[in-house]
Amino acid sequence: MSRPKISIIGAGNVGATTAHWCAAAELGDIVLLDIPQVGDMPKGKALDLMQASPIMGFDSHITGTNDYTDTKGSQVVVITAGIARKPGMSRDDLLSTNAKIVGSVAEQIKATSPDAILIVVSNPLDAMVQRVLKVSGFPNKRVVGQAGVLDTARYRTFLAMELGVSVEDIQALLLGGHGDTMVPMPSCTSVGGIPVSQLIDPKRLQEIVERTRSGGAEIVGLLKTGSAYYAPAAATTQMVEAIVRDKKRLLPCAAYCDKEYGVGGYYVGVPVILGAGGVERIVELELTASERADFQKSITAVKELVAAMNALPL
């Protein structure tokens, strides 16, 4: 039985680290692709990863390439291509350049892997996944954005640091757009089954939420020459695993919502069941009045971002 084929478009830090995590977990054979202008860089990274396999004990085959033909027949395609944020740059500043890049990627994948499930990681995420849906013409359940898994991981990390407990004991959920308008769900956050509201006072919890919202910017500021990649790649790998192993994971992802939550045809972060069919179901939660108000603000921000993208000469 052949292994699943996982293609990762963009061999920069996020793409290469996703290849690393996927190979280590033996999720399938991996194709790492980047543009011809970077030369043999994808081949070098792929070969380096392959030479780690005897030490780490994985049998995934990793190919580096500049040719989309090598991605043909992929089960999952991860799109990380695009320019990364620099200090002082918002995700929105990336809009024009990255919309053109991911649109081009979607065209190529449509031709080579028409049955693939696409995971979009490029920023600004909520607009980029909408762009990929439009250009690819794929069913919306086969186009999903990675955001909520990463945001929730950051939230859980900060909660564990605050309480001095294992991250494994923290369950949490964040909804909405990726970034400043994400919506925390204290009602869906617990530590070993104990509601977080019983362990952290509201003021301190709000401070942790704010740090989560600016989690990416904090890392950009510290690195000074790049953006986060270990955690984004790990989050993406969790989504890949859910799909190739049909794990039916309940994960917060950027999914296409129409009637769901009254969104009206946009990608926003919501809890979904992720499996071999892609987004197999969107889970609708009963929101409190304040949660609903915050979620509506997030939806409005996503709509404005998409409108700005659609006004560009792409």
Residue 40 half-sphere exposure toward CB, CA atoms < 13 A: 3
| Cβ-proximal residues to 252 (8 Å cutoff; 6+ apart), any chain | 147, 148, 149, 151, 152, 173, 174, 175, 269, 270, 271, 272
Cβ atoms within 10 Å, residue 4: 18
- Tell me which residue has tokens 């990793």: 62
Decide if 61 is catalytic.
no
Distance (Å, whole) CA 220 – CA 151: 15
Phi/psi of residue 248, nearest 5 degrees: 55, 45
Q: Copy the structure tokens of residue 86.
A: 């620099």
Which of 45, 91, 178, 213 is an active site residue?
178
Phi/psi of residue 272, nearest 5 degrees: -130, 160
Residues noted as catalytic:
178
